[in-house]
């Protein structure tokens, strides 16, 4: 491989802040709002011209559950934003979903506007169309980050940094260690999500009622695959979210062998994903009543990514913690979403494990702290966990909760001029609870609620692959 020596360059410092958040998905949005509301000068850096992450850039059609089947366990900023979206998406939309907290369809354009307003309204600043190119280190701390955008290359300096990129990009640039890949090097597949208009919900539902087809239409999908009208892989139509009576979002089909940290893979996935959408559109028109006249109106700006890097943190959440519904003394969030590891290839099975209704496990602060760095915290799907737990933690409601915890911790650390590990956990938990977060019935008290249990393997489960 050829190499080039890049000339030394003197860069201007373009931004100074107490807290810098890199990544504008749910984790970054909640982190920026929390840090700013708690009095810290905050800058959020996002590579696109809007926020929302997989819910807007990749068109994931619905939010995963905010509840444990009985009560909301994701509260605080995440639940607040969900309720705002429901109110502002229109009267008909609100009438349909005002009581719903699980699998609420995403109104993408409404959500983009809300995120802009709520982040700015918190007092945080936003810098769109910007990437982090380099991390400047001093001992165990980040001293600054080099950003690049249309205005050129400059340096941003802060006291504390929050990596909410989803792929732990900032952590990677800072030299943070990561969890090793499994023996097969497997990653969950990606999905190119999309939105269609011109569907007929009433006709579709009448067809399901008359034929007795299950809502995921396994028999029809199987027939289409046998006849070569759909590729092998996902065995059912899933991840379908009706935004209106005629507009539907789809999270349907897999793109295998995609590493979301590899630009060549992302490029190939984008190209293949758009071709796969066209195949699926033909299938829907020809096989499913109610979809004869659909028209593709939007495909994801990028393929949806479920899994990439996982940091090595001060604690690693493992599947036994999930199965036992463990509570930690340093919990900063709760999670009840099922373990949902999508098939790694067309012949694989899916890994699924549900907690009983009403149960959740704790997310300890320590799993967000990367080894070897004092002023960096991770929020979102790349926190320190094993693969099964990552298959549960990765969804957007959980990212909101982890982001709120990271932003609140950053505000405490910024005020006291300390690192993340010096934040008193009791103070952090108290602030989170004051701000509406749910940390269980006995926050700060370590316990194990469930005994025994194993991860079960299945082709699919009833609602396993909305996201």
Window from 38-52, 88-102, 174-188, 279-293 with minimum mean pLDDT:
174-188
Question: Does residue 354 register a pLDDT over 60?
Answer: yes
pLDDT at res. 351: 60
Task: Indicate the length of the chain as a whole number.
Answer: 467
Question: Does residue 228 register a pLDDT over 50?
Answer: yes
Question: Does residue 233 register a pLDDT over 90?
Answer: no
CA trace torsion 30, 36, 42, 47 (10° rounding): 30
Structure tokens at 105: 């369809």
CA trace torsion 164, 333, 359, 461 (10° rounding): 0
Residue with tokens 């959440």: 317
- Give 455's pLDDT tier (boundaries 50, 70, 90): very low
Q: For the chain, how many helices (H) and strands (E)?
A: 12, 18
* pLDDT mean over 411-439: 98
Structure tokens at 423: 């934040």
Neighbouring residues of 288: CB distance < 8 A, sequence distance ≥ 6: 204, 207, 217, 220, 237
Q: What are the tens digits of pLDDT across the range 310-331?
A: 999 999 999 999 999 999 999 9
Question: Does residue 454 register a pLDDT over 90?
Answer: no
pLDDT at res. 342: 75
pLDDT at res. 25: 98
Question: Does residue 461 register a pLDDT over 70?
Answer: no
* pLDDT mean over 438-450: 92
- Give 122's pLDDT tier (boundaries 50, 70, 90): very high
pLDDT at res. 460: 40
* pLDDT mean over 87-94: 97
pLDDT cut 90: percent of the chain above it: 85
Question: Does residue 139 register a pLDDT over 80?
Answer: yes
* pLDDT mean over 34-55: 98
Domain ranges of the chain: 13-181+308-458, 194-299
Predicted TM-score (pTM) of the model is 0.95
pLDDT at res. 344: 60
- Give 444's pLDDT tier (boundaries 50, 70, 90): confident
Q: What are the tens digits of pLDDT across the range 1-32?
A: 899 999 999 999 999 999 999 999 999 999 99
Question: Does residue 458 register a pLDDT over 60?
Answer: no
- Give 340's pLDDT tier (boundaries 50, 70, 90): confident
- Alpha helices in 38-125, H assignment, sequence order: 76-88, 91-97, 108-121
Window from 201-210, 410-419, 457-466 with minimum mean pLDDT:
457-466
Question: Does residue 440 register a pLDDT over 80?
Answer: yes
Homologous superfamily (CATH) of 13-181+308-458 is FAD/NAD(P)-binding domain (3.50.50.60)
Q: How far, CA to CA in Å, does 367 sit from each of 224, 371, 380?
A: 44, 10, 11
pLDDT at res. 231: 92
Mean pLDDT, the chain, rounded, equals 93
Higher pLDDT, 345 or 366: 366
* pLDDT mean over 421-441: 97
How many other C-beta atoms lie within 10 A of the C-beta of residue 351?
22
Q: Give the pairing of strands 240-242 and 248-250.
A: antiparallel
Window from 158-172, 235-249, 424-438 with minimum mean pLDDT:
235-249
Residue with tokens 């969900």: 82
Radius of gyration of the chain measured on its C-alpha atoms: 22
Residue with tokens 């006709």: 203
Q: What are the tens digits of pLDDT across the range 144-189?
A: 999 999 999 999 999 999 999 999 999 999 999 999 876 577 899 9
pLDDT at res. 184: 73
SS3 for 229-255 is: CCCCCCCCCCCEEECCCCCEEECCCCE
Cα–Cα distance, 96 to 337 (Å, whole number): 23
pLDDT at res. 212: 80
pLDDT at res. 353: 80
Cα–Cα distance, 401 to 464 (Å, whole number): 21
Question: Does residue 115 register a pLDDT over 70?
Answer: yes
Cα–Cα distance, 284 to 291 (Å, whole number): 6
């Amino acid at each position: 491989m050829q190499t080039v020596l890049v000339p030394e360059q003197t860069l201007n410092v373009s931004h100074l802040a107490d807290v810098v958040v890199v990544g504008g998905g749910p984790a970054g949005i909640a982190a920026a709002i929390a840090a700013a509301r708690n009095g810290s000068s905050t800058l959020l850096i996002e590579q696109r011209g809007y926020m929302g992450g997989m819910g807007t850039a990749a068109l994931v059609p619905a939010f995963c559950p905010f509840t444990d089947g009985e009560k909301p366990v994701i509260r605080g900023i995440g639940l607040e934003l969900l309720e705002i979206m429901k109110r502002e998406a229109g009267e008909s939309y609100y009438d349909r979903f005002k009581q719903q907290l699980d699998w609420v369809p995403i109104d993408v354009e409404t959500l983009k506007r809300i995120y802009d307003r709520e982040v700015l309204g918190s007092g945080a600043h936003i810098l769109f169309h910007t990437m982090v190119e380099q991390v400047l280190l001093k001992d165990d701390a980040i001293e600054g980050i080099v950003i690049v955008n249309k205005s050129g290359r400059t340096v941003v300096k802060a006291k504390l940094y929050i990596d909410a990129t989803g792929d732990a990009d900032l952590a990677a640039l800072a030299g943070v260690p990561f969890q090793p890949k499994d023996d097969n090097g497997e990653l969950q597949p990606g999905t190119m999500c999309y939105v269609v208009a011109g569907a007929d919900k009433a006709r579709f539902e009448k067809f399901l009622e008359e034929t007795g087809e299950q809502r995921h239409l396994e028999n029809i999908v199987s027939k289409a695959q046998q006849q070569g009208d759909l590729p092998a892989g996902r065995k059912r139509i899933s991840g379908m979210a009706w935004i209106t009576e005629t507009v539907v979002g789809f999270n349907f089909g897999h793109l295998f062998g995609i590493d979301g940290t590899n630009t060549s893979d992302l490029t190939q996935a984008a190209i293949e994903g758009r071709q796969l959408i066209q195949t699926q559109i033909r299938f829907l028109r020809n096989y499913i009543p109610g979809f004869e006249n659909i028209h593709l109106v939007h495909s994801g700006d990028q393929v949806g990514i479920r899994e990439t890097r996982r940091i090595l943190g001060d604690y690693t959440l493992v599947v036994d913690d999930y199965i036992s519904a463990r509570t930690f003394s340093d919990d900063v969030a709760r999670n009840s979403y099922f373990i949902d590891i999508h098939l790694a290839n067309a012949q694989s099975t899916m890994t699924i494990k549900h907690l009983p209704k009403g149960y959740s496990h704790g997310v300890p602060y320590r799993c967000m702290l990367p080894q070897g760095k004092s002023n960096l915290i991770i929020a979102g799907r790349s926190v320190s966990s094993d693969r099964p737990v990552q298959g549960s933690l990765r969804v957007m409601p959980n990212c909101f909760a982890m982001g709120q915890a990271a932003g609140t911790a950053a505000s405490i650390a910024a005020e006291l001029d300390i690192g993340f590990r010096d934040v008193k956990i009791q103070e952090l938990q108290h602030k989170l609870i004051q701000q509406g977060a749910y940390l269980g019935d006995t926050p700060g008290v370590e316990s194990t609620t469930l005994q025994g249990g194993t991860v079960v393997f299945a082709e699919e489960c009833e609602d396993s692959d909305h996201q």
